[in-house]
Amino acid sequence: MPKDILTQSSEWFEKALQANRFREGTTLVIRLPESPPAVEALLYFIHTLRLDYASEANMTIANMQNELQISFEVWMAGQKYLLPRLQDTAMSRICAVLYSISQLGGTIPCECLVKCFKIAEGSRPLQIIIADNVVDRLNRETLVVSSELAACDGFIAAIHESEVALHESSDYPQSFPRYKKPLIHDVVLGGELPEGYEDDMDKGITRHGTVWDRMPLCEECGKDAEADYGRCNGCSGSLSCGNCGSVETVKTLCSGCSGHRADAGF
């Protein structure tokens, strides 16, 4: 990769490649210890200022679990190499993937949670996300926390913090786990809320770029970046369907797809 692109992307690379300061400045070679998928994402983001993902609607739960680990690595790489916009984008994906797994009725095995928590060593936002997932499941199902996960440095403290957050969310249970409503918890999870978006705080489950935003893709056509409509597949009710009571049949649709399904009588 051209030196100028790296040095302009981050102060870390700028200092690392300064002549006569570090070995990298002389050899112009930087060896990154992160995994190949994380490095690939890092370099792609430096070139394009974005990361491209497949729609969760077209992924298996196993694939989403693998992508969750990679996104944790990417977030940590953003922290290490002083790329906050990369962190924001990775956090966006983490929140969306976790939400999608829960909506599909899936669970994350303890082995995956252990890997993610260890990747997140020293990172409070990422550890909060894992702890929230565990506390939420302990509150809803029988979950056996593995001894390896319980022994992770910082895990018990993170669990206690998440239990407090769960208690404080009693008046607004939809806000826990916090990755479901990151607009409300942007101070905890990072990022910033743009001026004028206060009225949208209840609608977002993800963020895009450097700010919290709404879920970006229509689940029908996968193209509309402003998707904010929904129609129940089972009874044509609204997104917050009270007729059939099935969350799994509700999709987030753009205005075009939502109108098309209504015209077709779906």
Indicate the pLDDT class of residue 245, thresholds 50, 70 and 90: low
Higher pLDDT, 14 or 90: 90
In angstroms, the CA 112 to CA 91 distance is 17
Indicate the pLDDT class of residue 190, thresholds 50, 70 and 90: low
184: helix, strand or coil: coil
| Least trusted range by pLDDT, from 44-53, 100-109, 110-119, 230-239 | 230-239
Higher pLDDT, 97 or 261: 97
Would you say 227 and 193 are in contact if contact means Cβ atoms under 8 Å apart? Answer: no
Higher pLDDT, 124 or 258: 124
Predicted pLDDT at 227? 41
Which pTM does this prediction carry?
0.68
Q: What are the angstrom distances between the C-alpha of 129 and each of 91, 123, 185, 197, 203?
A: 10, 10, 11, 23, 19
In angstroms, the CA 240 to CA 9 distance is 42
Mean pLDDT for 44-52 is 84
Q: Tens of pLDDT along 136-153? A: 988 887 777 888 898 999
Give the burial class of 171: count Cβ atoms within 10 A of its Cβ; 0-12 exposed, 13-18 middle, 19 or more buried.
exposed
Residue 184, pLDDT > 80, answer no
Would you say 70 and 38 are in contact if contact means Cβ atoms under 8 Å apart? Answer: yes
Kind plus residue range of the DSSP H or E element containing 202: none
Residue 260, pLDDT > 70, answer no
Phi, psi for residue 205 in degrees, rounded to 5: -125, 0
Residue 99, pLDDT > 60, answer yes
In angstroms, the CA 257 to CA 208 distance is 22
Q: Name 207's bridge partners.
A: 212
Give the burial class of 34: count Cβ atoms within 10 A of its Cβ; 0-12 exposed, 13-18 middle, 19 or more buried.
middle
Higher pLDDT, 4 or 76: 76
93, two tokens: 């994906």
Predicted pLDDT at 74? 94
What is the share, in percent, of the chain residues with pLDDT greater than 70?
62
Domain coordinates in residue numbering, the chain: 1-31, 36-216, 217-266
Beta-carbon contacts of 44 under 8 Å, excluding residues fewer than 6 positions away, are 51, 52
How many C-beta atoms lie closer than 10 Å to residue 9's C-beta? Answer: 22
Predicted pLDDT at 85? 84
**Averaging pLDDT over each range in 24-28, 49-53, 110-114, 219-223, which range is the top one?**
110-114
| Least trusted range by pLDDT, from 6-20, 59-73, 125-139 | 6-20
